[in-house]
């Protein structure tokens, strides 16, 4: 028998965001998985989904505890972490380890990671990285079997926990798309896409309102936490993040179908025609369309991909796959979890979220250039030029159709920024309304629409006067 050491106890400094404090000693007789994560990570979102699956499958012998360890300053706020727990649908206990005490006790170096404890509370193994569900399941089954053989196993179902928050008619809106007559909203918390007029009156709904992966007409279709939208001609393209897929809504008929993706995450591969090719995606967070090309940010793959809307060829445009901030051409460049996209002629603007950066890509050559940003752990809330400007986990970007300017949803700074393309640097745009984790922004030149995500709101502001209203988002 292997002589494992007793796992370090959970520190008293933890802030439990959705339950009463948990103790490892109370879980003896069960296998325990401590899932270390942070709220801004696409790969951590994958891991949490895997742990939810394993918790449900082995509920009579497995306990999962989420250990949130901040990467960004804003994540030290437990209220923000609680909102992320609700947005991600986590139903097992979660603690915010704001000072990384447990992280240090377990000797961790990166996210995500799962520490497995046997039925005696001993630390058996730490499994790190993305796409580890099969290995985790194999080890959990082995530990449960060993506990049963030795008469140590306690058979009792783990009970789900939650601390829900009040929701409005939209829940965690994550993306916006604008046409001269319509505003489209990804109502991610309700797993649907809304078609509205500019005043926020709901005209059509796509998606059943519960998480699913199904093609169909209008509310017969199923989405799972859609996070990116783009309109081109008479089609609305959707980054269906929870399904790891790109979906298409034909606006003339309301029909929803799937362009790329299989409903599970995996490593993408280039194909001359995606139709029937079985291509996998990993956390698509943003889409931008134009000139018969659809650009897709794959957050967990750290790449930008391109879909030809005529031939349906699918290929990588830029990014090596490594999570690094590096300029270059094509695969010589590197991104750090690219999120929101905006296209202006042949230039694609990218919110590179983990690097707190704003990047641009020449769609003809694949050349990548950094406008704002210096590295994975270099973030802040400063205005100024390329050297002095700082963002903190930006998620949304939009091109102003009138001025040479980009609007930025600077999510963890709870702010809107404006980057002047012809000089002048980054400036903050003051709002007479509190922002909570904004993730998307669009503009018609006179007005801004903002997805105020963690407040479950969509805002509209007149740029000249500063007058702002919360859109009703009702029929």
**Span 358-380, mean pLDDT?**
98
Q: How far is CA 338 from CA 236, 299, 362, 418, in A?
A: 21, 5, 15, 19
pLDDT above 90: residue 430: no
Which of the following CATH numbers is that of domain 15-149: 3.10.400.10, 3.40.30.10, 3.40.605.10, 3.40.640.10? 3.40.30.10
Residue 266 has pLDDT above 70, yes or no: yes
Using pLDDT thresholds of 50, 70 and 90, give the confidence band for residue 392.
very high
| Ramachandran bin of 232, using left for φ above 0, alpha for ψ from -120 to 50, beta for the remaining angles | beta
Count of alpha carbons within 13 angstroms of residue 223, beta-carbon side: 33
Residue 108: strand, helix, or coil: coil
The confidence score (pLDDT) of residue 319 equals 98
Count of Cβ atoms closer than 10 Å to residue 229 Cβ = 25
Phi and psi for 230 in degrees, rounded to 5?
-155, 135
Is 353 in contact with 394 (CB distance < 8 Å)? yes
108-122 exposure pattern, b = at least 16 Cβ within 10 A, e = fewer:
beebbbbbbbbbebe
> Per-residue confidence at 291, pLDDT binned at 50, 70, 90?
confident
| CB contact at 8 A, 348 and 293 | no
* Beta strands 173-178; 123-128: pairing state: unpaired
Average pLDDT over the chain, rounded to whole? Answer: 97
Given a contact cutoff of 8 angstroms between Cβ atoms, the answer to whether 307 and 322 are in contact is no
How many percent of the chain have pLDDT more than 90? Answer: 96
Strands 293-298 and 284-290 turn out to be: antiparallel
Q: Is the pTM of this model over 0.85?
A: yes
User: pLDDT for 10-55, tens place per residue?
Assistant: 999 999 999 999 999 999 999 999 999 999 999 999 999 999 999 9
Phi-psi region of 59 (alpha: psi -120 to 50; beta: other; left: phi over 0): alpha
**Cα dist from 6 to 116, 125, 155, whole Å:** 11, 12, 22
Q: Is the pLDDT of residue 473 over 90?
A: yes
Please state, in angstroms and rounded to a whole number, the distance separating the CA atoms of residues 10 and 412: 27
Q: CA angle 452-228-167, nearest 5°?
A: 35
State the distance between the two ends of the chain, measured CA to CA, in whole angstroms.
Answer: 64
Ranges for all domains in the chain classified under CATH 2.120.10.30 = 173-470
Q: Where are the beta strands (DSSP E) in 9-145?
A: 15-16, 31-37, 62-68, 94-96, 113-117, 123-128
Over range 345-364, report the average pLDDT.
Answer: 98
Query: What tokens does 381 get?
Result: 């809330």
For residue 354, give the nearest of 411, 306, 407 by alpha carbon.
411
Tokens representing 62 are 């497995």
Least confident piece of the model among 130-134, 136-140, 167-171, 262-266: 167-171
- Does residue 178 contact residue 449 with C-beta atoms inside 8 Å? yes
Return left, alpha or beta for 149; rule: phi > 0 is left, psi -120 to 50 is alpha, else beta: alpha
**pLDDT over threshold 90, residue 63:** yes
Q: pLDDT digit string (tens) for 223-244?
A: 999 999 999 999 999 999 999 9
* Residue 423, pLDDT above cutoff 90: no
Q: What is the per-residue DSSP string for 279-348? A: --BS-EEEEEEETTEEEEEETTTTEEEEEETTT--EEEEE--SSS--B-EEGGGSB-SSEEEEEEETTEE
**pLDDT of 167:** 79
Q: How many CB atoms lie within 10 A of CB 331?
A: 15
* pLDDT tier for residue 2 given thresholds of 50, 70 and 90: low
- Which SS3 state, helix, strand or coil, does residue 140 take? helix
How far apart, in whole angstroms, are the C-alpha atoms of residue 448 and residue 442? 6
Among 338, 353, 352, 262, which residue's Cα sits nearest to residue 306? 338
Distance CA 228, CA 241 (A): 8
Q: Give the mean model confidence (pLDDT) for residues 332-357.
A: 98
**How do beta strands 62-68 and 94-96 pair?**
parallel
Among the listed residues 45, 180, 30, the one whose alpha carbon sits nearest the alpha carbon of residue 116? 30
Q: What is the pLDDT of residues 158-208, one digit of tens each?
A: 999 999 988 789 999 999 999 999 999 999 999 999 999 999 999 999 999
pLDDT at 257: 98
pLDDT in tens, 72-115: 999 999 999 999 999 999 999 999 999 999 999 999 999 999 99
Strand partners, 246: 239, 260
Strand partners, 459: 450, 470
SS3 label, residue 266: coil
For 20, the token pair is 């009463």
The CA distance from 304 to 251, in Å, is 26
pLDDT attached to residue 74: 98
Residues near 259 by beta carbon (within 8 Å), at least 6 away in sequence: 237, 245, 246, 247, 248, 274, 294, 307, 312
1 pLDDT higher than 60: no
CATH no. of 173-470: 2.120.10.30
The torsion defined by the Cα of 414, 246, 458 and 429, in degrees rounded to 10, comes to 40
Cα 168 to the center of its chain, rounded Å: 21
**In the chain, ranges of CATH 3.40.30.10 domains:** 15-149
The mean pLDDT value for 466-473 works out to: 96
DSSP one-letter code for 111: S
Rounded to a whole number, what is the largest CA-CA distance in the chain? 73
240 three-state secondary structure: strand
> pLDDT tier at 3 (50, 70, 90 boundaries)?
confident
């Amino acid at each position: 028998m292997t002589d494992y050491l007793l796992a370090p106890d959970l520190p008293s400094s933890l802030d439990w965001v959705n339950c009463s404090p948990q103790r490892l000693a109370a879980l003896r007789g069960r296998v325990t998985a401590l899932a270390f994560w942070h709220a801004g990570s696409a790969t951590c979102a994958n891991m949490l989904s895997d742990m939810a699956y394993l918790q449900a499958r082995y509920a009579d012998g497995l306990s999962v505890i989420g250990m949130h360890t901040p990467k960004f300053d804003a994540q030290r706020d437990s209220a923000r972490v609680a909102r992320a727990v609700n947005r991600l649908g986590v139903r097992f206990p979660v603690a915010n380890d704001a000072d990384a005490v447990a992280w240090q006790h377990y000797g961790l170096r990166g996210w995500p990671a799962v520490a497995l404890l046997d039925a005696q509370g001993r630390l058996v193994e730490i499994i790190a990285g993305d796409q580890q569900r099969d290995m985790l399941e194999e080890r959990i089954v082995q530990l449960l079997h060993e506990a049963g053989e030795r008469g140590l196993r306690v058979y009792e179902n783990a009970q789900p926990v939650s601390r829900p928050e009040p929701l409005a008619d939209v829940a965690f809106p994550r993306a916006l798309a604008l046409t001269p007559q319509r505003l489209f909203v990804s109502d991610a918390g309700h797993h649907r896409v809304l078609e509205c007029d500019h005043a926020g009156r709901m005209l059509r709904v796509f998606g059943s309102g519960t998480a699913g992966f199904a093609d169909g007409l209008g509310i017969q279709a199923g989405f799972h936490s859609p996070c990116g939208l783009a309109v081109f001609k008479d089609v609305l393209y959707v980054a269906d993040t929870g399904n790891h897929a790109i979906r298409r809504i034909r606006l003339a008929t309301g029909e929803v179908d799937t362009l790329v993706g299989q409903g599970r995450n995996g490593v993408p591969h280039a194909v001359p025609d995606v139709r029937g090719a079985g291509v996998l995606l990993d956390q698509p967070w943003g889409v931008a369309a134009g000139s018969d090309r659809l650009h897709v940010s794959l957050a967990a793959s750290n790449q930008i991909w391109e879909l030809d809307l005529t031939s349906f060829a699918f290929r990588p445009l830029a990014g090596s796959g490594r999570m690094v901030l590096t300029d270059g051409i094509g695969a010589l460049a590197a991104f750090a979890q690219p999120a929101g996209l905006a296209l202006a002629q042949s230039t694609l603007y990218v919110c590179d979220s983990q690097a707190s950066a704003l990047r641009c890509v020449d769609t003809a050559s694949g050349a990548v250039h950094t406008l704002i940003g210096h590295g994975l752990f270099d973030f802040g809330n400063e205005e100024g030029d390329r050297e002095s400007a700082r963002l903190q986990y930006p998620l949304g970007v939009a091109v102003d159709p009138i001025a040479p300017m980009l609007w930025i949803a600077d999510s963890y700074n709870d702010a809107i920024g404006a980057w002047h393309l012809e000089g002048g640097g980054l400036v903050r745009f003051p709002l007479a309304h509190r922002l909570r984790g904004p993730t998307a922004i669009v503009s018609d030149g006179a007005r801004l629409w903002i997805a105020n995500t963690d407040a479950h709101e969509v805002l509209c502001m007149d740029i000249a006067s500063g007058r702002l209203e919360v859109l009703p988002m009702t029929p």
